[in-house]
Amino acid sequence: MNVETTIRNLRGRGFTVTYFPTAAEAADYLDQAIDGKTVGVGGTVTVQDLGMYERLSGHNEVYWHWYKSEGLTLDEVYARCATAQVYLSSVNAIAETGEIVNIDGRGNRTSSMLFGHEKLYLVAGVNKIAGTYEKAVWRARNVAAPKDAQRLGRKTPCALKADKCYDCKSPDRICNGLLTLLGPVSSMETEVVLIGEELGF
């Protein structure tokens, strides 16, 4: 995996890229950069591991379906996320050639990568980098999704061993949409915050 090549190709496609050697430095940066905003967050272990809910909630209005918002139903939390000024997510894979790949079951996370916010932050450890676009799609389908299905306790064949995708037709399937960002969409500034550690899956 070549981090420098990946950063160069992401920038070449129009993404803003910031790189931090450690998760702690990235968390400090995000905490400083996002202030006084409404913030929506997708289902992301990476952003959770950075402790961003606790940190951002002190000086922003944060909506995240993994955390309870007083007085709001889950659907209302999703709606607030969808219209927040800033959106944070991780990604399932980044190709060294600069494409960003994501799989989604509900579609809230991937739709927010396409529309609805002033600024999108995509936070990822270098373990998400794959050599080619084809390998990035393979990683999203065969590494990230099975591990996520296992984390969610889904009754899918992949969740048993988290070893590969079986392209199941299970009602518990978490893979319904596959999104590739070839570049940032024109309506949103999109910043990739790349971290030199293994984070999430």
Residues engaged in binding ligand SF4 (CB under 6 A): 145-146, 149, 156-158, 165-168, 170, 173-175
Q: Which is nearer to ligand SF4, 42 or 98 (CB)?
A: 42
Q: Which is nearer to ligand SF4, 48 or 92 (CB)?
A: 92
Antiparallel, parallel or unpaired: β 38-41 and 86-89: parallel
* Closest separation in Å from C-beta 120 to ligand SF4: 24
Nearest to 192 by CA among 46, 49, 79: 46
Q: Which is nearer to ligand SF4, 52 or 103 (CB)?
A: 103
Q: Which is nearer to ligand SF4, 101 or 145 (CB)?
A: 145
Q: Which is nearer to ligand SF4, 55 or 147 (CB)?
A: 147
* Closest separation in Å from C-beta 140 to ligand SF4: 9
Contact assessment for residue 118 and residue 185, using Cβ atoms and an 8 Å cutoff: no
Q: Which is nearer to ligand SF4, 44 or 92 (CB)?
A: 92
* Closest separation in Å from C-beta 45 to ligand SF4: 16
* Closest separation in Å from C-beta 178 to ligand SF4: 10
* Closest separation in Å from C-beta 98 to ligand SF4: 24
What whole-number distance in Å separates Cα of residue 47 and Cα of residue 27?
9
Largest Cα–Cα separation, the chain = 46
What whole-number distance in Å separates Cα of residue 115 and Cα of residue 34?
19
Helices (H), the chain: 3-12, 23-33, 45-49, 52-57, 74-82, 108-112, 133-139, 145-151, 157-161
- What DSSP designation does 107 have? S
How many helices and strands (H and E) does the chain possess? Answer: 9, 10
Nearest to 91 by CA among 26, 142, 42, 156: 42
* Closest separation in Å from C-beta 136 to ligand SF4: 15
